[in-house]
């Protein structure tokens, strides 16, 4: 590797790992900042334990605000337990309902717009791994965006890089690997369009 290449690599590795993830950069396992992801997850877990043991809606919102570093509006309801591995890359709008036992892996970014309904056991997974075994330990981010009035059915899984359109419905148990158009109902594994809401 010549000198300019070394400098580019060094500069890339000196930049904040969380910013690089939000920019869609793959993080290799030997990245000098990869330990920060694990440290941040442990810090988040401490707050999650408190949040998931609370029955007070205001306290739950307050703790979730600390986890996400954004204000969770009082119109939003969260039924715990909720599991998040980082938190600061999750943005939640107004009048959102998140039901029991959901999992958010948000290093790649999760945006949930206003009036979204999320049923029990939904997984929003904004990060994955390469298919090739030699690179499998790398982390590949892909932001998830759930637009206004969408409804995500029970036990559905939204994979990295997926946008769920306005007013769309994801059927229970669906695995969504591709964008869902506005007003579409999708279901199955992998999810396919079932119908368009008129």
Closest CA to 170 of 193, 157, 187: 187
Residue 137 domain-assigned? Answer: yes
Torsion of CA 33, 36, 38, 41, to 10 degrees: -150
Residue 120 domain-assigned? Answer: yes
* pLDDT score at 14: 61
Residue 35 domain-assigned? Answer: no
* pLDDT score at 160: 97
Does residue 2 sit in helix, strand or coil?
coil
Domain count, the chain: 1
Domain holding 118, by residue range, is 40-196
Provide the pairing of β-strand 151-152 with 117-118.
parallel
Residue 84 domain-assigned? Answer: yes
Does the annotation mark 145 as catalytic?
A: no
Torsion of CA 83, 85, 87, 93, to 10 degrees: -40
Active-site entry in 13, 89, 129, 145: 129
Q: Over its length of 198 residues, how does the chain's per-residue pLDDT go in tens digits?
A: 455 444 444 455 568 999 999 999 999 999 999 999 999 999 999 999 999 999 999 999 999 999 999 999 999 999 999 999 999 999 999 999 999 999 999 999 999 999 999 999 999 999 999 999 999 999 999 999 999 999 999 999 999 999 999 999 999 999 999 999 999 999 999 999 999 998
**Looking up tokens 């000196």, which residue turns up?**
14
Residue 12 domain-assigned? Answer: no
Residue 25 domain-assigned? Answer: no
């Amino acid at each position: 590797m010549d000198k300019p290449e070394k400098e580019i690599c060094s500069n890339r590795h000196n930049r904040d790992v969380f910013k690089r993830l939000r920019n869609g950069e793959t993080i290799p396992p030997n990245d000098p900042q990869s330990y920060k992801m694990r440290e941040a997850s442990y810090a988040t877990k401490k707050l999650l334990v408190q949040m998931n043991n609370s029955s007070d809606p205001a306290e739950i919102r307050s703790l979730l605000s600390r986890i996400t570093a954004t204000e969770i509006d009082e119109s939003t309801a969260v039924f715990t337990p909720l599991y998040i591995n980082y938190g600061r890359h999750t943005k939640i709008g107004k009048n959102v309902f998140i039901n029991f036992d959901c999992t958010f892996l948000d290093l790649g970014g999760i945006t949930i717009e206003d009036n979204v309904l999320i049923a029990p056991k939904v997984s929003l997974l904004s990060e994955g791994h390469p298919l090739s075994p030699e690179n499998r330990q790398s982390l590949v981010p892909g932001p998830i965006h759930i637009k206004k009035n969408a409804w995500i059915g029970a036990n559905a899984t939204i994979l990295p890089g997926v946008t769920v359109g306005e007013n769309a419905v994801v059927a229970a148990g669906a695995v969504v690997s591709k964008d869902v158009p506005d007003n579409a109902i999708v279901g199955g594994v992998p999810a396919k369009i079932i119908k368009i809401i008129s």
